[in-house]
Amino acid sequence: MHGGMGYMAATAEQRLHPGHLLEGCRSVIVVAMSYHGSRPDSEAHPPDDRVWISRYAWGRDYHRILKKRLIRLGRELEALHPGSAWRAVVDTAPLLEREWAARAGLGWIGKNTMLLNRRLGSELFLGALLSDLEFEPDTPATDHCGRCTACLDACPTGAFPKPYVLDARRCIGYLTVEHRGEIDPKLAPAMGEMVAGCDRCNEVCPWTKRAPTDLHAEFAPAPHRYRPLLADLEALDEEGWKLWRQGSALGRIPFKQLKRSLAVARSNYDRAENQRRDAEAQRHRTVATTKTRRHKGPSHSGDEG
């Protein structure tokens, strides 16, 4: 169910064994930073001529932020243990960060396949420091999803065939960020105004809803990336897109792919506008008919005597 991400299956064995990334690796130190913000959820806005960029891309590129901190931690460990080896990994090397995070006690993997933390929720950036030093392991977290199915029920495209299983081929996050082909016409209407990622399964999670917001200024929304106008993005050329996304985590979306997603959003918007106009016209016709009937006097027949 990896869709076009064949590398996931090809590197499955390597992802399970960090020794492929750092010879002699004996510990995996996993870190998390919350990007949960106080801005309204994607569903909080009535349909309009704006598009949705996923929260993960609102602020500065998390790869650089976490990598810099992990490198600093690695150097501190090396200073304490001269000759030790380490490697910082942030979503760019074949490592199952979520699985290692769960083993390290940072949280559990929820029904939406995201890492969940009881205090921070599920909107988390993960990174790892591989080390050839041996540390006392933390206790893995237990699952606290219970009977809740909010994330599964909220998915616009039905990308969860069952709890804890994601079909990437139907996931809007995959379709707008990783998928390089055409969008399945059956899925396109459900994408709505989303052109770069999707936040629905995270937004509805009770643990995320109660999590603290705006913990890291680095991930505060850049004004132009929070609900931008569809027309503004459509007006960009390739160089303009590179400037627009500069400093963010949107580097994986090439211009051609953006234009494809914008075309889907435009089609969805136009259809919604046509439906709105039709409904408005029908409402006016109904009101006009009602008024006509209300003011029409009684009919008379015969001569007045």
Catalytic residues: 91
Whose CA is closest to 99, among 140, 60, 58?
A: 140
Q: Cα-flanking dihedrals φ and ψ of residue 127, to 5°?
A: -145, 165
Q: Coil, helix or strand for 27?
A: strand
Runs of H (alpha helix) within 156-300: 172-177, 188-191, 200-203, 206-209, 230-234, 238-245, 255-295
Residue type, 104: A
Rg (CA), the chain: 25
> 49: Cβ–Cβ under 8 A, 6 or more apart, which residues?
229, 230, 231, 269
Closest to 174 in 3D by CA, of 56, 3, 55: 3
- The continuous run of DSSP H or E covering 72 comes out as helix 62-80
Question: Cα–Cα distance between 176 and 197 in angstroms, integer?
Answer: 6
> How large is the angle between the packed helices 255-295 and 238-245, nearest 10 degrees?
90
CA 163 to chain centroid: 18
CA distance 276 to 270: 10
What does residue 129 show for φ and ψ, rounded to 5 degrees? -115, 115
Residue among 145, 216, 227, 217 at smallest CA distance from 192: 227
